């Protein structure tokens, strides 16, 4: 595969600019995986440099799935209205909505998980391992690992991105900062699922089944 083809493939995979892809491939001696890692690291560095910038522009995006059974709203921010209207930014907002609809995160970041929820999770893990006869020093280390796994399951920014599970949602945002050249912040989101939290009665269930069967 020629150099131009490699650059094009890397750009399609990562969304980075042509020159950044060229430099990353040169640094990686043509190794595609190493080049991707280089671009991701650079994206994280660029994101850190823009951390102090104000991101108050952007868009409120929405997505409706499965015939109206699942809906998502999110606010995605950037620094300028110009970037907020670009195809790249709008596509990012759409992909995040799709991810939220599919992955069903409960919180944005680990800092948003209520202390009571963490204590309940911790207590469950401790009781499980005590029942298995594990010593306390092993339990302490294992609990932290289980809590980290819990964060990756329920916190949006720490979830594996559904379209590329090698990166997290936070990693995706860092890449887009490098690509679009502005600070990008996923500020908040809401996910709605029809009937969620409603305890259906037997009558409700029977009616639903009857409707599905056409009668």
We report the CATH number of the domain holding residue 90 as 3.30.479.20
Distance CA 29, CA 22 (A): 11
Does residue 3 fall inside a structural domain? yes
pLDDT of residue 207: 59
pLDDT of 113-159, one tens digit each? 999 999 999 999 888 888 888 888 888 888 888 899 999 999 999 99
pTM of the model: 0.68
In a domain, 26, yes or no: yes
**Host H or E run for residue 62:** strand 57-65
16 and 120 part of one domain: no
Residue 45 has pLDDT above 70, yes or no: no
- Asked if residue 207 is part of any domain, the answer here is no
Q: What is the predicted pLDDT for the residue at 12?
A: 67
Classify residue 162: in a domain, yes or no.
Answer: no
- Shared domain for 66 and 45, answered yes or no, is no
Percent of the residues in the chain that have a pLDDT greater than 90, as a whole number: 44
Number of domains into which the chain is organized: 3
The torsion angles phi and psi of 114, rounded to 5 degrees, stand at: -60, 145
Query: How far apart are the C-alpha atoms of 206 and 183, rounded to whole Å?
Result: 51
Residue 54 or 80, more confident? 80
**9-18, 76-85, 129-138, 149-158: lowest mean pLDDT where?**
9-18
**What pLDDT score was predicted for residue 215?**
46
Domain that holds residue 73: 53-103+169-194
């Amino acid at each position: 595969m020629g150099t131009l083809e490699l650059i094009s493939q890397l750009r399609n995979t990562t969304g980075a600019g042509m020159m950044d892809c060229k430099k990353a491939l040169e640094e990686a001696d043509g190794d595609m995986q190493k080049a991707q890692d280089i671009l991701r690291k650079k994206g994280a560095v660029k994101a850190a440099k823009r951390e102090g910038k104000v991101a108050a522009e952007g868009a409120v995006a929405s997505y409706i799935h499965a015939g109206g059974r699942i809906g998502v709203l999110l606010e995605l921010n950037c620094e300028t209205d110009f970037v907020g209207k670009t195809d790249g930014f709008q596509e990012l907002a759409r992909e995040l909505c799709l991810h939220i609809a599919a992955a069903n995160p409960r919180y944005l970041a680990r800092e948003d998980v209520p202390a009571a929820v963490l204590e309940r999770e911790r207590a469950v893990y401790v009781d499980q391992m005590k029942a298995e006869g594990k010593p306390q020093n092993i339990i302490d280390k294992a609990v932290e690992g289980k809590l980290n796994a819990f964060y990756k399951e329920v916190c949006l920014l720490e979830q594996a991105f559904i379209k590329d599970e090698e990166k997290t949602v936070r990693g995706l945002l860092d890449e887009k900062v490098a690509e679009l050249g502005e600070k990008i912040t996923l500020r908040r989101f809401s996910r709605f699922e029809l009937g969620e939290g409603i305890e259906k009665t037997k009558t409700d269930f029977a009616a639903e089944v009857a409707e599905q069967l056409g009668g």
